[in-house]
């Protein structure tokens, strides 16, 4: 599984050279280690990795992609439900609201939101 994770990381870096051009090898290794914590449901290992590397959860988790999935989805798909629950509050949320007062009578009204669940 580690080989797949590393291979995906290198494949993604080759596809989007601009995004990863400024990333040094230490940063890449740190993010791979964080992704590896999503393979198990070991909260101790997760906390140790986050603390050891001084990870800013608000900045990293909404943007971190592991094997083509955001970290929350990656952890959930690997059965790491406790880790996914710890990360969920840091995932980005989008909300769209339609002004009901300015809407036409025949216009369909909707509220759209997405959240990581």
Q: What is the pLDDT of residue 18?
A: 46
d(C-alpha 41, C-alpha 26), whole Å: 24
Q: What is the pLDDT of residue 16?
A: 46
d(C-alpha 6, C-alpha 67), whole Å: 9
Q: What is the pLDDT of residue 24?
A: 82
Cβ burial of 72 (10 Å; 0-12, 13-18, 19+) is buried
Q: What is the pLDDT along the chain (117 residues), one digit of tens a residue?
A: 555 454 455 444 444 444 445 678 888 899 899 999 989 889 999 999 999 999 999 888 888 889 888 899 999 999 999 999 999 998 876 655 656 666 566 665 554 555 554
Q: What is the pLDDT of residue 2?
A: 56
Question: pTM of the predicted model, to two decimals?
Answer: 0.60
Q: What is the pLDDT of residue 11?
A: 45
d(C-alpha 50, C-alpha 98), whole Å: 39
Nearest alpha-carbon partner for 11 in 66, 58, 62, 63: 66
């Amino acid at each position: 599984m580690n080989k797949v994770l590393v291979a995906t990381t290198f494949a993604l870096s080759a596809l989007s050279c601009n995004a990863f051009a400024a990333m040094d090898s230490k940063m890449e290794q740190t993010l791979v280690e964080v992704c590896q914590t999503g393979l198990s449901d070991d909260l101790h290992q997760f906390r140790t990795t986050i603390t050891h590397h001084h990870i800013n959860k608000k900045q990293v988790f909404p943007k971190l992609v592991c094997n083509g999935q955001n970290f929350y989805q990656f952890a959930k798909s690997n059965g790491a439900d406790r880790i996914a629950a710890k990360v969920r509050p840091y995932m980005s949320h989008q909300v769209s609201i339609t002004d009901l007062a300015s809407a036409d009578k025949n216009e369909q009204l909707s509220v759209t939101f997405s959240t990581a669940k």
